[in-house]
Structure 1
Amino acid sequence: MRRSSVKPSPYPTSRNPPRLHGPASPDRGRLAAEPGSAAASHGPLLLTFAAEVGWTDVRLIRPVDRLGTWYQNRKLTAAVTGRTTISGRDVTLQVGLPSNFPYDLPVVRLDHARTFPHTPHVELDGTVCFMVPRGLVIDRHHPLAILHDVYARAVATLHDGWTTDPADEFMDEFGAYWQQTFPRFHVQSFLHVDDRLRAVSLTLAPQRIRRNRSQQGHSVEQDWHHRQAQAQEARRALISGPAPRRPARALGWVADDAAEPEAFTHQTQASGRRHALYIPLRPDARLQPPRPGERWSAAEIRTLIREHLTDENLRHLDELVKPRGDTLLLIMALPRPRGGVTLIGLRYLHLKGRHPLAPPGPDDGPWEEPEPVTVQRLDRPLVTARGGGRTTLSAKRVLLVGCGAVGGHLATMLATAGVGHLTLLDHDLVAPENVFRHVLGRAALGRRKVEALAADLRNRVPYLTVRAVPLTLDGAVMSGEIDLGAYDLVISATGEPAVDLDLNARLRQINAPRAVFTWLEPFGIGGHALLSTGDEGCFECLYSPDIAGDTNTFHNQAALYARTQPRDFNLDEIGCGSFYTPFSDLDARRTAELAVRLAADALEGRLNDSIIRSWKGDPGAFLNAGYVLAERFSQDADRLLSGGPYAAQWCRTCGTP
C-alpha cells in the first residue's frame, strides 16, 4: 500500500501538534549486543530518537518478548517502543531498524492496531505504510534525521486516517486490503472493464492445476502465483504466527469472449464453463474493506452491491438473478478515485436454488459465507498500457519486409509497442555469422528467420497475432500470400535498395503508398527511417541519375557517406559469398527504434507528411578505413534526428512529369 500524498510538515497531528510528552529512559531495556554490532550502534540511536520526540515508557525490544514475531519477520536488528499521543489518542508505537539501515528505511508500527478505527495504510502487523517521493535520496550521514523524517510521515498517515474521511484512500488501495481477507482462490480476468453489468463466463482451471498450481512445472505464470501464495502466508504470519494453510489455488479465468484468453496465452483454452456476473459499481461508490482476517457476510454483500449500482444496472441485475446452478462467481469492479478500476471476486457455494443478490424475500434464510477471490487483471488495455504499449495500435495491421539485424529488433519493438497484427516476410535462414547482431541469437541457428521470430514473439508478447511468410517479396505477392493493400502500414528493413525500390513501386501502383523504409550505413556512421505517405515523396525520391550521365547508376541522396569511395563497403573475411556490411547490434537497435517511433506516429495519425529522420554516430572507424563522409554528415545531429521533407519533383515514380 502506498500513500497518495505526503505531508511536508514534521508532525502534522493538529494545528498545534501535541508535544509527545515525557522524557525517554535511555537506560531502560537495553539490548545485550556485541560491541560494534548493528544492534549495539542502533540501540542508542533509537533511544536518542525516542527522547527527542518525547516518548514515555521507552524500552528497547527484545526478539523474545511479545513483539518478537514482528521484530523477526521484519528482519530488524534493533527496535524501540514507547507511548505518545496522536490526534488526541494515546498510542504505543514501535520503531525498528533493518540491518541495512540507513540505506533501508526504518519501520514504524502501531501497537494493538485492531483497537483503533480501521485506518488506511496500516498493514496486517500494525506497520504503518507511507510513500517516499520518487527521486528522494536518503542522506546516510544523518541517520537520526532519517528517523525523524520517517516518523513524521508515519504520524501523518495515522493523523490523516483518524481525522479525515478515509473512503478514497480505501478505494484506491482496495486490492491490497482484499488480500488481507486471506483468499484461498485466485482467478484471471480477461473481461472488458466498463460500466455495463452482465453475465460472463468462468472457465474452470484443470483439476490438476486447481489442486496445487505451484507444483505444476516451472512456467512464469505458475511461479508468479506460487510467490503470491508465499507472500500471503508471510503476511498472515506477521500478525498470527505461522499457520498451516493451503496455497492459493487457481479457480480459472473469466472472459466475455473465449478468444481473449487464447490471444493472451496463444494456446487453446480448456472447456468447463460456469456462470459468473460482472458487477461494476457507480463511480461515486465508496466501500470500506473488511478488517484484516475478516470477511463480508452474504447479507452485507447484497446490500453493498444493490446500494451502489446505477438504476440501469440494478434493473439489469434483477433480470439476471434467476438461479443458475449451485455455485456463482461475482466479479466486482470498484472505481478508484485516482483513476482506474480494481477487480475483486466472491465465490458462492451451495446456493440450493437461490440467488444471493436477489431482493430479500420471505424465504431468505441463512446463507453460507462467500469466499473472497483475488482477481488478476489480464485484459488487453491494462496489460498493454502497463507494459508501455499503445492501446491505439492494437487493431493495426503491419507488414514487415526483412527480418535481419534491423528487422528482428523492429519486429520485437513493434509487438511491444502494441501493434496487434504483424506479418513477417523474409526468405532467409539464421546463419552462424548472424548471431551477434540478430535478436534471435544462437537459439535459432538454421531456422527460417520469420518462423523463429514469430514463435519467439508468441512466447513473449500477449494479444499479438503474428504470421510468418518465408518467401521473397516477389514470390509472396505473385503467389497471393501477401496483399500489400491489406495493411495499415508496410515497413521495409531489407537494407537492399533494389528490393525497396521494387516495393515502393508496387505500393504506388495499388494506391497504398503509406510505408516506412529503414536502413543502416556501414561502420555505424548512421541510420535512417523514411516515411512515405503518398502525398509528396516516396522512397525513389532519394535516388537520382549519376551526374556523370550514367543513368543506370543511382546514389542515395540521404546517405552520410560520399558518392565516390576508394572501394566498396562490403567486407569479405573468408572468400566469395561471405560479404557483409560492418555495423554492430547497437547500431541495428538504434535504427530499429528510430523506425518504430516513426511508424507509431504515422499509425496514430500524428504524422501525415512524408519525412526522413536520420541519426549519426562516431565516424572514427569509417574514416580510419579510408572512406569519405558526405557533406550531409556535417549537419547538426538534432536537425537530422528531427527530420524533414525529402520529396523530389523529378522523381519518376511520384514526381511531376
Structure 2
Amino acid sequence: MSRAPALQPPPIHVETLGHLQRSGLLAECQVVLPTPAAGRTGGPTGEASLSGYMTLGSYKFHLRVGLPLAFPLRLPELTVLSVEPQLELPHLVGDHQLCFESETNLLLDRRDPWGIVQESLARAREMLHRLITGGRAEEFAQEIVAYWATPARIRLDCDVDATERPHLTQILFSKQVPIAVADDPFAYGQSRRERRADDLARQNAIYIPIDPVAVDPEFDPRELMKPEGIRKYIRALPEADRREVARLLGHCTQRQELVVLGVKRPRGERARVGVWFPRVRGKHPLADELAQDLAIPVALRRRDLAFLAPRGGAGAELQKRQVLIVGCGAVGGHVALILARAGIGQISLVDPDSFELENTYRHVCGMAHVDLTKVQGLRQELQRLIPYVKVVPYEEEIENLLVRQPEVLAQHDLVISALGSPTVEMHLNERIWSSTKHPPAIFAWLEPLGIGGHVLATHVPKAEGFSRGCLECLYHRPVEEGPLENRAAFATPGINYTRDVLGCGSTYLPFADLDSLRTAEMAARFALRILHRQLEGAPLVSWKGDALAFEKVGYRATPRFDAISGPFSEEQVAHVRESCPVCAS
C-alpha cells in the first residue's frame, strides 16, 4: 500500500501560524502540520497547529493553538497541554480545550485571520490570569456541569428539582440498567415517547444541596469524586439539613447507590451532578465517616420542563393551560404543533376524518399516518416530537361532541377552530357565546390559491363581560333573502372554488402548505396573547397574498382585497355588527 502524500494546509493557516511564531506571544514555538490518519488514504487527524509556552506569574502554560479547517470562519482551538507547577483548571472541555469564548452569534472578521488569533490569545491570557489570581473555585462551581462531563462514566436523564433542602428522589431502571433519576417518575414519563414510566423499576436516591465555594475558597470538584469529599460539604450544612440527610440516608440501603448534588453556583441556579457508588459495603458511604467506597462521576442530562421549555422560547407557565383545537387539517395541524412547542400542557383534538395520501403535501404529518384518524396521527406526532404535552383525541364532529359532552368547552382555556366549514363554525361560535363560563375562541380560515387567510378572536373577557365582535358579525345578506356572505372575504362570494379530481368525496380547496402555515402562525400568536391575558377586544387579522394565480384562472378578488395596501390588515371594531344576534344579545 502506498503512503498517502502529506496534506498541505491552506496557505492562510501556514501564514497565520508563521506570524504567530514570529510574534513573541508564545515562547518556544513549534508548528505542527496535519498528517494523514493512520491506515487511511485521506483526511487529517487534526488541524494545523502551533504549540508554545505562555508564562503568567509563577505558572508556565504549555498551549496548542489549532486552526480548524474552517478557520478563519471559526475560532482557533486553544488546548492546555500542561501547567507548571501542576494546576487543575476550570473552563476546559473535551481534551483540555480552553473554553475562552462562545461562538454563538460571534462575528469574526474573516479578512483578518491574524487579528482573530491575537484576540483569541488575549482573551485566553485574561481568563488564565483571572484563574490563577483568584476566583478559580467560583469558576469551578459555575462550570461544574461541563467539567463533570469529562470524567463521567455514566450518563442519566435527570428531572430532579434543585431545592434548598435535601430530599429523596428515585433512580429509574430499564432492564436493570439505570436510565434516569427523577423526583416524580410520572412527570418524567411525560417526557418519554411512551408517555409512561410504570414500566421502569425504581430505587431511592438522595439529593443534597451543597455550597462548596462558601465552605472552601480552594474548592476543587475532584473532591466530590470521593465519599470523604462529599461528607466534608455535608458537615458544613445547617444542623437541620445534616439531620435530614442522616434520616434520608436510612432510606437508601441498596448495594448500589446514587447521590445527586445540587452545587450552588455564583451565578444562576444550582447545578446538578451525580455520584454513583457501585459497590456499597455496609452503611451508605455518606453515613460512614470511614467509608472509602468507589465513587463514579455521573453526568446528568436535564430533561425537566423548566430547563427544556425556555431554551425553545416556550413558557413553563403554560403547562397548566388546556386548548381545544377543532379541525385537524392543514391549519389545525400546524396550530397544534406550534402550541405544543410553546409549552401548552394539554391539547384536545376534534376531527372525525382520517389521513389520506392526498394530505401528504398539505399537512404537518405528511404521509406518516395514512389511514389513521387525524386526531390519533397528530397525537402520535406531537408526542413523538414534544415532551410534557398531553393530547386528548376526540374522533367525532364538534357538533356531536357538544351534545355528548356539553361541558367540554368550559373545561378548556381556549378554543381554536380551523374547520373550513362556516356553517358548523357559526354554530360553535353561538355555543361559545351562550355561557359566560365558556373560554375565548379563535377562528382561522384560508382563501383559495394563496390569495389570503384570516384569524378572528372572539369572546375575549374584559373588565365587565366580553368584548363585542364574533364570527356571526362577519356574515350578512347584501341582497334581501339572498345567500349569506363573509364581509372579510378576499375571494368573490357565491363561487365554488373547490377542485374535483376523482369525483364525489375528493373535492378540496386549493392552497399551499405555506398558506396554511402562515394562517396557523397568526392563530397561534393570538392564542398565546389570549393565554397570557395580553389580547383585548375581538381583532380580525387578514393576510393578503399574491392574486396572480387566483386571477390567472379567471377569478376576481373582492373590493376589500383591493383596498388593503399592505400584506396585513387588523381590524378591531370595523367588523362588529350592532344587530348581531349572537354577541349583541
TM-score by length of 2: 0.87
> Which residue of structure 1 lines up, in the alignment, with residue 354 of structure 2?
429
CA offsets 1:301-326 (integer angstroms, 9 cap, x no match): 1112332x455533432433436414
TM-score (normalised: structure 1): 0.78
The answer for unaligned runs of 5 or more in structure 2 is: 461-465
Shift of 1:42: 3.9
The separation in 1 between residues aligned to 2:28 and 2:523, in whole angstroms, is 66
Report the counterpart of residue 491 of structure 1 in structure 2: 416
Identify the residue that residue 19 of structure 1 maps to in structure 2.
none
> Which blocks of at least 5 consecutive residues in structure 1 are unaligned?
1-32, 211-250
The change in CA–CA distance for 1:435 and 1:54 in structure 2 (over 3 A counts) is closer
Counterpart of 2:77 in structure 1 is 107
Please state how far the C-alpha of 1:494 moved relative to its aligned partner: 0.2
Contact 1:513 1:532 in 2 (8 A): no
The farther-off stretch of 630-639 and 509-518 is 630-639
2:109 corresponds to 1:139? yes
Aligned to 1:558: 488
Q: Aligned in 2, Cα 1:491/1:310: closer, same or farther, shift over 3 Å?
A: farther
Contact map agreement 2:318 2:344 (CA 8 A) in 1? yes
> Hey, which of these two has a bigger chunk of strand by percent?
2
- Note the aligned Cα RMSD (angstroms): 3.2
Distance 2:406 2:391 in 1: 14
**Does structure 1 residue 252 correspond to structure 2 residue 179?**
yes
Distance 2:117 2:532 in 1: 49
Pair 1:111–1:282, CA change in 2 (3 A): closer
Aligned to 1:18: none
Paired residue for 2:168? 199
Structure 2 distance, partners of 1:461, 1:257, is 19
**Secondary structure of 1:613 counterpart:** strand
Distance in 2 between residues matched to 1:485 and 1:321, nearest whole Å: 47
The one of 255, 259, 283 equivalent to 1:330 is 259
Q: CA deviation at 1:652?
A: 0.4
Distance 1:614 1:274 in 2: 56
- What CA deviation, in whole Å up to 9, does each residue of 1:346-379 have, x standing for no partner? 1235544424444x7xxx4342132221111111
Task: Give yes or no for the alignment of 1:595 onto 2:528.
Answer: no
The sequence identity of aligned pairs, in percent, is 31
Query: Are positions 1:58 and 2:29 aligned together?
Result: yes
Find the counterpart in structure 1 of residue 153 from structure 2. Answer: 184
Q: 1:495 to 1:78 in 2, by over 3 A?
A: same
Q: Given residue 473 of structure 1, which amino acid in structure 2 is its aligned partner?
A: I
Render the CA deviation track for 1:586-619: whole Å, top value 9, x for unaligned. Answer: 0001111111111111112222432222222112
Aligned mate of 1:606, from 534, 545, 555: 534
Deviation at 1:107, TM superposition (A): 2.5
Structure 2 distance, partners of 1:94, 1:203, is 42
Cα offset, 1:500, TM superposition: 0.6
* Maintained 8 Å contact 1:335/1:342: yes
Helix, strand or coil: the match of 1:161? helix
Deviation at 1:200, TM superposition (A): 1.8
Greater Cα offset, 496-505 or 93-102: 93-102
More displaced stretch, 39-48 vs 439-448: 39-48
Report 1:411-422 matches (<5 A): 411-422=336-347
Q: 1:192 to 1:146 in 2, by over 3 A?
A: closer
Q: Match of 1:50, SS? A: helix
CA deviation vs aligned residue, 1:396-425 (integer Å, no higher than 9, x gap): 111111011111111211212111111111
8 Å CA contact retained: 1:75, 1:98: no
State the one-letter code of the partner of 1:258. P
Aligned with 1:542 (options 473, 476, 495):
473
Is the 1:85–1:91 Cα contact (8 Å) retained in structure 2? yes
Distance 2:242 2:7 in 1: 67
On the 8 A contact 1:43/1:79 being kept in 2, the answer is no
- 1:144–1:257 distance in 2 versus 1, CA, 3 Å: closer
Q: What corresponds to 1:653 in structure 2?
A: 582
* Mapped partners of 2:125, 2:78: distance in 1: 9
Can you list the C-alpha shifts for 1:282-319, whole angstroms capped at 9, x where unaligned? 59758777577x86321111112332x45553343243
Specify the code of the residue in structure 1 equivalent to 2:376: E
Which position in structure 2 is the counterpart of 1:620?
Answer: 548
Paired AA for residue 292 in structure 2: W
Tell me if the contact between 1:524 and 1:617 (Cα under 8 Å) persists in the aligned partners.
yes
2:191 pairs with one of 249, 254, 264 = 264
Distance 1:374 1:544, change over 3 A: closer
